[in-house]
Amino acid sequence: MANQTGKSYAMNVLTAMERPGWRPLGKLGTILKLLLRDKFFPTLQLPRNTRTLECVFWSIGKGAAPEIQRNLVELSFIHFARWVIIKHDQFPRLDPSQPAESLQYDWLFFESNFNGSWQEYIEAFSRVIPGGMDNIWNWSVKYPGSVPISPFLDYIRAGQADTDYYYNATPGSSTKDILGALDLQERLRRFATESAALAPADFRRAYDHFLISIQGDLGTTGSYPESSPLPDDGSAARRAPVHAS
Amino acid sequence: MSAPTSPAVAPTPLLDLDDIQGIVLRGNAYHYARYCFFEITDAAEGRAFVGRVSELVTNSQLGPSGRKQPRAMSIALTWQGLKALGVPARSLDSFPLDFKQGMLARAGILRDIGEDAPANWEPLWRSGRVHVMVAVYSHAERPGEMGEKVDMTVQVRNDKAELKREFDTLMGCDPGPGVTLLDPQQDAGMLVIDGRFCNKEHFGFSDGYSQPDIAGSGAPLIRGGGKWDETLKTWLPLAAGEFVLGQRDEAGEIPPAPVPNLLSRNGTYLVYRKLHQKVKSFRDYLRRAGQDYPGGAELLAAKMVGRWADGTPLVLSPDHPYPERPKPKIKSAEDYVEVLRAFTDFRYGYDPGPVAPGSDRLAEGPDPYGVRCPLGSHTRRTNPRDSLGFGGTLVNRRRILRRGLPYGDWQPEGKEDDDGEHGVVMMPLNASIERQFEFVQREWVNYGNDFHQGNDPDPVIGNHPPGAKMVIPGNPGTGRPPHICPSMPQFVVNRGGDYFFVPSLTALRIIAEGKIEDA
Amino acid sequence: MANKSGQAYGLTLLSPILAGTDPSGDPHHMALRAALSEMPNGPQSPLAAVAGTHLARWVVIDDVPFPGVPSHEDHLASRYLLFTACFDGELVPYLEAMRTGMPGWLEQIYGHCIGYPGTADSGAFRRYMVSCQVETSFFVAAYGAATLPAVLRALDAQRRMIAFIQSHQGPTWTGDRLQPEFRKFLVQLEQAPTPAPATL
């Protein structure tokens, strides 16, 4: 089992989704309903099924809910993440001898490569982009909502599959490390070109301003010396019953 | 909409001040303390001892006319201690993993490696015998306000006599053969410098600012202590559940807590950490590195800490400390709060973009790029305020109460050493050790990713691997380039400690009576 | 195209695992897990030899989780080997790079999967992998425009720049002293080899 390699954690989550019934307008109807919800009627209910999620992804691809991508990028602790809808009949069947699947649900697979501990990551999602998380997982069976935090943690944990092998080509570098390095590289290239013909006195001044422009990119990277384990994965075993005061 | 005036006292509802130990909400801000540690080898005798001590433990009520209580004592238990006292198995098991394992087992998570490693801890903290901690405090009468020159010989003698009286009262609780007072006890107390008590630690920096404001604590709000609300444009207190179990926390729920309810409610967790300060190494480094730093040693130190030595926040006054001002008469808690405001009421600002636009309007207002107060400085790391964006949601769950005191004697300039007994007994209190104290230690002190510092650690208290550095940002307005502080040696060393549970007075009673049901 | 973000490709493969036991008598899924745990990681990983692989993982899916009553209890008829990768460029060249870069380990792993044709025939291998592909619905990349070599060179440049700044700091480094040093630094940087994958 290998959920963590270097500074990145490999999370895999599978959640069930109801299959959509027939509707006269099909996806078009759902997309219209989404538009109505986002523009005029925020409490408009949409059916909790795969078609709704497909339309959500489609509209995000067309620029809807830009705050999801923006916040994800700004949080900058995810290298790469993806959502994959696997419909009940889309599990590959490669040979007649392989028994056919007879699933009642469609399935949503989520994977992420993120920095920090499991608990911090889920909590940041819950607190910073609750609307975004709801927009994607609301259509999954028994989704409790992204706030408050504890039921959300339990829901993710219940659907999580451990990774058997996790390869990381930049294990000593967090997402911020990489973004900082790319920023520094770009500015260095520009400065190298612009300063090539400068007189020494001018060079010194320009160099100082160049350094100022990369001063947020100068953190030391690499695996932390004597790397330490992160705290445990929020095991459900230690959740005592919640009680009011 | 005009911003509401900040209320003088936290709104409603009041927490159970009668039930919560004073160390949690009142801080026991006394001048001297003695931390005493006990091992329990007989459960029944241990429970009886805890029962007798509990009658002396002070709660969070204020004393007459709103001043602190005339005396104070607090008691806290390790998980091994709860076990030794006969707390039933299911209840024991319901405590969180961090508390169960204790600080030594989690040294790796905290990055207590190298000089900080448990192999170098004091024997007491490697023994596994610490079950109970009782803190006694002295509050001898003193003629003037803090900072006034008094006859220190007399004052110190009175303080120590008072401390001894408190300690004798504690030992008068007759531990019995099944309860052993472990050696050594740890004395701590405010530093006396040039004949005055001050709130400084051994590197010479005023300490203890920005304690969290807690909703329902009954204490006046210190602006800058709580969380900043961008809509209301004001400081609000933090949810009590961040510091007291059984209350709503900043994540909008009452978090899981140990069972039974009566055992955990109104309790909290305490981290005891004896931090040795290598004063000579620190001063030598400043002398050396200060020669290469434009601005000199004093500014370099301020950049590392985030405040000038007198506590002036760098972000409010980047070029020099506040001018010397007449010491105000502090006659009430409100007076004290007003004095504190100049040191606590500020924000850093936030911008997700990578670099400051060239601008000379960086002398005041937001400081998102660390031009005035470096992103990697000690105080900015340990309490980032608004500088991580997202309305503070990434910070509000990472606050800790600090209830510790310095130990050892002040070393005047030129007479410093690295090896003596001088440092700080750090004592964070929080509702979740892992989510609050450990997170800050692991992610913000011994790592720098959230502040664009890569692996670089806290320049003052961090664990410093060979070559540990700090980047001091330059100023795009003046063209002053960034400066990299080279190869910082270790300045602060962990000598040991553990994780404790601070039960409410009700919980202490049921522990002492042995009446916890195996739910 | 939902599989891409910038120039980065998010590949998702679900390969059904053979039921029953392998020639040595171990159930296929257990032998597969054992093989995965024996595969070297870090710079010695077989994936380090597959150019452009930023991050990749194998996960054995035994079954789908049960959400709890009153939900239906779904079960998979086969176990699946999930493979996801974030790599540079297009699918076909990447599959070819896998085939030529790690044939031995591919056999060790996919030898336990239904319909695996081996690595001898490039077309057959590609067709097999594509038949296992599931389309990504939403792919987010923090640095999708940067290839792995670009990332590695940038990380290396960052280290060298920090060292240069530290050794050329202070008022004695006037423009006329600093400029030629900086030029030398740029040349060294240009000539520096791209660091190997999984070393930074």
pLDDT level of residue B149 (50, 70, 90 thresholds) = low
Lowest-confidence region among A58-72, B102-116, C116-130: A58-72
The partner residue sitting opposite C138, judged by closest CB among A57, A168, A181, is: A57
pLDDT at C102 over 50: yes
What DSSP designation does B36 have? E
Residue C153 distance to chain B (closest CA, Å): 17
Q: Kindly tell me the burial class for residue C83, based on how many C-beta atoms sit within 10 Å of its own C-beta (0-12, 13-18, 19 or more).
A: buried
**Looking at residues A157-186, what average pLDDT do you find?**
96
Is residue A242 within 8 angstroms of chain B, CB to CB?
yes
Q: Which of residues 12-51 of B touch A (CB under 8 A)?
A: none
Residue B457 distance to chain A (closest CA, Å): 10
Structure tokens at B310: 């007198």
The per-residue pLDDT for B100 is: 97
pLDDT level of residue B208 (50, 70, 90 thresholds) = confident
- The more confident residue out of A166 and B175 is A166
Contact B67, B47 (CB under 8 A): no
pLDDT at B291 over 60: yes
Side chain identity, residue B502: V
Cβ distance C8 to A177 less than 8 Å, yes or no, reads: no
Is residue A5 within 8 angstroms of chain C, CB to CB?
yes
Pair type for strands B73-77 and C138-141: unpaired
Instruction: State how far the Cα of B136 lies from the Cα of B72, in Å rounded to an integer.
Output: 6
What is the average pLDDT score of chain A? 86
**Looking at residues B207-215, what average pLDDT do you find?**
91
Cβ distance B397 to A218 less than 8 Å, yes or no, reads: no
Opening angle at CA B150, ends B145 and B151, nearest 5: 150
Contact A113, A78 (CB under 8 A): yes
pLDDT at B143 over 70: no
The per-residue pLDDT for A245 is: 30
A14-67 tens-digit pLDDT: 999 999 988 888 888 888 888 888 888 888 888 899 999 999 998 888 888 787
Residue A230 distance to chain B (closest CA, Å): 6
The partner residue sitting opposite C65, judged by closest CB among A57, A83, A159, is: A159
Cβ distance A241 to B259 less than 8 Å, yes or no, reads: yes
Contact B240, B216 (CB under 8 A): yes
Cβ distance B292 to C162 less than 8 Å, yes or no, reads: no
- The more confident residue out of C165 and B9 is C165
The per-residue pLDDT for C191 is: 96
- The residue in chain A having the minimum alpha-carbon distance to the alpha carbon of residue C149 is A169
DSSP reduced 3-state for B40: strand
Q: Which residues are CB-contacts of B308 (< 8 A; sequence separation ≥ 6)?
A: B298, B302, B314, B317, B320, B321, B322
pLDDT at C122 over 80: yes
Q: Which of residues 200-229 of A touch B (CB under 8 A)?
A: 205, 207-209, 211-222, 224-226, 228-229
pLDDT at B140 over 80: no
What is the average pLDDT score of chain C? 96
**Phi, psi of B450, deg, nearest 5:** -65, -15
Contact C54, C151 (CB under 8 A): yes
Contact B366, B349 (CB under 8 A): yes
pLDDT at A226 over 80: no
Contact B26, B490 (CB under 8 A): no
pLDDT level of residue A179 (50, 70, 90 thresholds) = very high
In B157-243, beta strands by DSSP E: 179-181, 186-189, 191-193, 196-198, 227-229, 234-236
Contact B453, B268 (CB under 8 A): no
pLDDT level of residue A240 (50, 70, 90 thresholds) = very low
Instruction: State how far the Cα of A215 lies from the Cα of C112, in Å rounded to an integer.
Output: 51
Instruction: State how far the Cα of A140 lies from the Cα of B361, in Å rounded to an integer.
Output: 50
pLDDT level of residue B7 (50, 70, 90 thresholds) = very low
ipTM of this complex:
0.96
Residue C194 distance to chain B (closest CA, Å): 21
pLDDT level of residue B4 (50, 70, 90 thresholds) = very low
Opening angle at CA C192, ends C189 and C193, nearest 5: 145
Is residue A236 within 8 angstroms of chain C, CB to CB?
no
Side chain identity, residue A104: Q
The per-residue pLDDT for B337 is: 76
The partner residue sitting opposite A212, judged by closest CB among B246, B259, B481, is: B481
**Looking at residues A130-158, what average pLDDT do you find?**
88
Side chain identity, residue B466: P
The per-residue pLDDT for A62 is: 85
Cβ distance C55 to A113 less than 8 Å, yes or no, reads: yes
Contact B60, B15 (CB under 8 A): yes
Q: Which of residues 46-65 of C touch A (CB under 8 A)?
A: 47-48, 53-61, 64-65
Q: Kindly tell me the burial class for residue C171, based on how many C-beta atoms sit within 10 Å of its own C-beta (0-12, 13-18, 19 or more).
A: exposed
Contact B79, B68 (CB under 8 A): no
Give the residue extent of every domain in chain C. 4-131, 148-191
The per-residue pLDDT for A243 is: 34
The per-residue pLDDT for B351 is: 79
pLDDT level of residue B484 (50, 70, 90 thresholds) = very high
Cβ distance B356 to A212 less than 8 Å, yes or no, reads: yes
Contact A173, A115 (CB under 8 A): no
The per-residue pLDDT for A80 is: 95
pLDDT at B323 over 60: yes
Is residue C135 within 8 angstroms of chain A, CB to CB?
yes
- The residue in chain B having the minimum alpha-carbon distance to the alpha carbon of residue C164 is B484
Instruction: State how far the Cα of C17 lies from the Cα of B247, in Å rounded to an integer.
Output: 50
pLDDT at B150 over 70: no
The per-residue pLDDT for B474 is: 94
Instruction: State how far the Cα of A154 lies from the Cα of A156, in Å rounded to an integer.
Output: 6
Contact B445, B461 (CB under 8 A): yes
Contact C87, C52 (CB under 8 A): yes
pLDDT at C83 over 90: yes
The per-residue pLDDT for B353 is: 59
pLDDT level of residue B179 (50, 70, 90 thresholds) = very high
* Helix, strand, coil shares, percent, chain C, to 5: 40, 20, 40
Opening angle at CA C7, ends C1 and C11, nearest 5: 60
- The residue in chain A having the minimum alpha-carbon distance to the alpha carbon of residue B99 is A238
C4-131 topology per CATH: Alpha-Beta Plaits (3.30.70)
pLDDT at B184 over 90: yes
Lowest-confidence region among B63-77, B92-106, C173-187: B63-77
pLDDT at A244 over 50: no
- The residue in chain B having the minimum alpha-carbon distance to the alpha carbon of residue C169 is B483
**Looking at residues B232-238, what average pLDDT do you find?**
92
Q: Output the CA–CA distances (angstroms, integers) from residue B30 to A66, B390, C128, in the order listed.
A: 53, 38, 74
Cβ distance A79 to C161 less than 8 Å, yes or no, reads: no
Contacts of B483 in chain C (CB under 8 A): 169
| HEC letters along B342-403 | HHHCCCCCCCCCCCCCCCCCCCCCCCCCCCCCCCCCHHHHHCCCCCCCHHHCCCCCCCCEEC
B432-452 tens-digit pLDDT: 999 999 999 999 999 999 999
Pair type for strands B186-189 and B191-193: unpaired
**Phi, psi of B212, deg, nearest 5:** -65, 140
The per-residue pLDDT for B1 is: 36
Dihedral in degrees, nearest 10, Cα atoms A84, A90, A91, A94: -130
Q: Which of residues 99-128 of C touch A (CB under 8 A)?
A: 114-115, 128
Residue A181 distance to chain C (closest CA, Å): 5
Contacts of C165 in chain B (CB under 8 A): 482, 484
Q: Kindly tell me the burial class for residue B182, based on how many C-beta atoms sit within 10 Å of its own C-beta (0-12, 13-18, 19 or more).
A: middle
The partner residue sitting opposite C151, judged by closest CB among A100, A142, A170, is: A170
The per-residue pLDDT for C124 is: 97
Which of C182, B264, B42 lies closest to A206, judged by CA?
C182
B306-317 tens-digit pLDDT: 999 999 999 999
- The more confident residue out of B279 and B151 is B279
Instruction: State how far the Cα of B444 lies from the Cα of B436, in Å rounded to an integer.
Output: 11
- Ramachandran area for residue B467 (φ above 0: left; ψ -120 to 50: alpha; else beta): left
pLDDT level of residue B80 (50, 70, 90 thresholds) = very high
User: Number of CB pairs < 8 Å for B and C?
Assistant: 12
The per-residue pLDDT for B363 is: 61
| DSSP assignments along A76-138, one per residue | --EEEEEEEEE-TT-S---STTSPPP--SSEEEEEEEEESS-HHHHHHHHHHH-HHHHHHHHT
Q: Which of residues 448-467 of B touch A (CB under 8 A)?
A: 448-449, 452-456, 465, 467
Cβ distance A149 to B253 less than 8 Å, yes or no, reads: yes
Cβ distance A92 to C200 less than 8 Å, yes or no, reads: no
- Selected for mutation to probe chain A from C11, C74, C79 (highest A CB count within 10 Å) is C74
pLDDT at B84 over 90: yes
Q: Which residues are CB-contacts of B117 (< 8 A; sequence separation ≥ 6)?
A: B107
The partner residue sitting opposite C170, judged by closest CB among B292, B469, B482, is: B292
C28-37 tens-digit pLDDT: 999 999 999 9
Cβ distance B484 to C171 less than 8 Å, yes or no, reads: no
Residue C155 distance to chain B (closest CA, Å): 12
**Looking at residues B188-213, what average pLDDT do you find?**
90
Instruction: State how far the Cα of B450 lies from the Cα of B411, in Å rounded to an integer.
Output: 35
| HEC letters along B434-472 | HHHHHHHHHHHHCCCHHHCCECCCCCCCCCCCCCCCEEE
**Looking at residues B173-182, what average pLDDT do you find?**
91
Lowest-confidence region among A53-57, A189-193, B196-200, B478-482: B196-200
Question: What is the edge-to-edge ordering of all strands in the sheet holding C4-5?
Answer: A165-168, C53-61, C80-88, C8-16, C4-5
Is residue C129 within 8 angstroms of chain A, CB to CB?
no
- The residue in chain A having the minimum alpha-carbon distance to the alpha carbon of residue C47 is A167
Instruction: State how far the Cα of C23 lies from the Cα of C168, in Å rounded to an integer.
Output: 64
Cβ distance A170 to C54 less than 8 Å, yes or no, reads: yes
- Selected for mutation to probe chain B from C161, C165, C172 (highest B CB count within 10 Å) is C165
The per-residue pLDDT for B3 is: 39
The partner residue sitting opposite C71, judged by closest CB among A16, A107, A188, is: A16
Q: Output the CA–CA distances (angstroms, integers) from residue A4 to A112, A230, B434, in the order listed.
A: 12, 9, 19
Instruction: State how far the Cα of B164 lies from the Cα of B183, in Å rounded to an integer.
Output: 16
User: Number of CB pairs < 8 Å for A and B?
Assistant: 154
Q: Output the CA–CA distances (angstroms, integers) from residue A117 to A114, A123, A173, A228, B423, in the order listed.
A: 9, 10, 15, 12, 31
pLDDT level of residue B200 (50, 70, 90 thresholds) = very high
pLDDT level of residue B473 (50, 70, 90 thresholds) = very high
pLDDT level of residue B157 (50, 70, 90 thresholds) = confident
pLDDT level of residue B66 (50, 70, 90 thresholds) = low
What is the average pLDDT score of chain B? 89
Q: Which of residues 107-166 of A touch B (CB under 8 A)?
A: 115-116, 119-120, 123-124, 126-128, 147-150
pLDDT at B340 over 90: no
* Helix, strand, coil shares, percent, chain A, to 5: 45, 15, 40
